[in-house]
Structure 1
């Protein structure tokens, strides 16, 4: 696996259901290395600290291969990497094969897989339709949150080299399925 895009976003205020909402989901690729810190990507806006950022959700990775699934469903959308709010777009990130605790050396960093991404209405805002939220729940294409065990810079073309495997733990896809049941979705 390798990084194909590093993405950050700025705080953006939008009106949703007649209410002002502040979000950082509008992320776009940048051409410079990004610094992965213990609780966030430096320079990336995190507007909802309860659900994003922090030790367990410092970095969000999403697979480039998943874009091939979504693009035909939204052919009129103007696509760019970072569409799902991910910090790192990774060529082939498979949530059904990555387990909680799996650890990767990436650029100067060491990252540990921790959680699935459970979609919220802000993904619908990004896609300009709430339909995407239910569709997202009905796949295993949730992306992976990572804890930063060793901080440092990463850049496009850096390899994701697995240095620890935890097959005894749940996969990231299993966590999404469990959460979906808990939420009654």
Structure 2
């Protein structure tokens, strides 16, 4: 497991439906080591902090393995690293094999898996296709977010070492499907809520669904 590319970008204004919106989804590869802090990587930034960024979304990881799928699916050549807004383009870390709460050592940092990605309309802006977020969701090739347990530095080429397995061993793919694919299953919602590392926003979603279920809704 390794970091293939480290990608960062500051928010920029881009045209969208006759107006300008601010987005941090445009990331470019950088060389050398970068400091990783509790809320982001040096040189990186998020535009709308109501739904992006924060401790639970400090670093976004996307598997290199998915790039070939999208090249074939969209009939294009391979995209440059960072195309999907990820900070870390990686090899050897797929959603089906990574659990919420897994802790990885990368460079001198410790990073913990906090949640899958649920794409917003800004991914459609990046891809030049308003329908792409729905295709991204349907593919289940969504990547995942990491919180920073130990600040430090990392760089492209760093090995990724799994330090510990997440409590409950609920994979990123399982949690994503539970929200976006699977039918209502209160027992599985309870299982997700029992995972201490699950991001607060996802925890609230499952709590709300469970509350509705308990009321017979």
TM range (shorter): over 0.9
TM-score (norm 1): 0.92
What's the Cα RMSD here?
1.6
Q: 1:106 corresponds to which residue?
A: 106
TM-score (norm 2): 0.79
More strand by share: 1
Contact 1:77/1:127 (<8 A) preserved: no
Q: Distance in 1 between matches of 2:10 and 2:76?
A: 24
- What does the per-residue CA deviation read over 1:46-102, in whole Å, with 9 as the maximum and x for residues that have no partner? 101122221111100000001011011233477210001000100122111111111
Where do 1:27-176 residues align within 5 Å?
Answer: 27-76=27-76, 79-166=79-166, 168-176=168-176
Structure 1 position 166, deviation (Å): 2.3
Q: Distance in 1 between matches of 2:143 and 2:157?
A: 19
Unaligned runs of 5+ in 2: 182-204, 206-217
Q: Which runs of 4+ in 1 moved over 4 A?
A: none
Residue 139 of structure 2 aligns to a residue in which SS? coil
Q: Distance in 2 between matches of 1:104 and 1:34?
A: 17
Contact 1:63/1:93 (<8 A) preserved: yes
Unaligned runs of 5+ in 1: none
Contact 1:96/1:140 (<8 A) preserved: no
Aligned length: 182
